[in-house]
Amino acid sequence: MKSAMILLLVPIVLVIIIPVYVKNGSSEGEIDCYERGFRDGEEYPFNQNTYDDCRDDYHRGFIKGCMSIEGNTREACELATDA
């Protein structure tokens, strides 16, 4: 009886866990839009294509990443998004 119950629960658990795992970008090497923006703000120019895909999440991350660099101002970081 217990083994039959476990066999019924496994597919249910997989149906619930896999979509959550994929949605949260947990697959190896994949990062969310905010994190992409943050990294770009620290090291790279504003990426219009990524912004087009991600919108506000990417923009907020980019500004935070840009401002994490000593000497950068909010104004300078905002200007960097006007490419």
Q: Quick check: 33 and 61 in contact, CB under 8 A?
A: yes
Token couple for 34: 């905010």
7-30 pLDDT tens trace: 554 455 444 554 544 444 445 568
24-79 pLDDT tens trace: 444 556 899 999 999 999 999 999 999 999 999 999 999 999 999 999 999 999 99
Q: Which residue has the higher pLDDT, 82 or 29?
A: 82
- pTM, rounded to two decimals: 0.65
CA angle 68, 49, 76 (to 5 degrees): 30
- Per-residue pLDDT at 30: 81
- Per-residue pLDDT at 26: 47
CA distances from 42 to 10, 25, 53, 57, 74 (A): 43, 21, 20, 15, 13
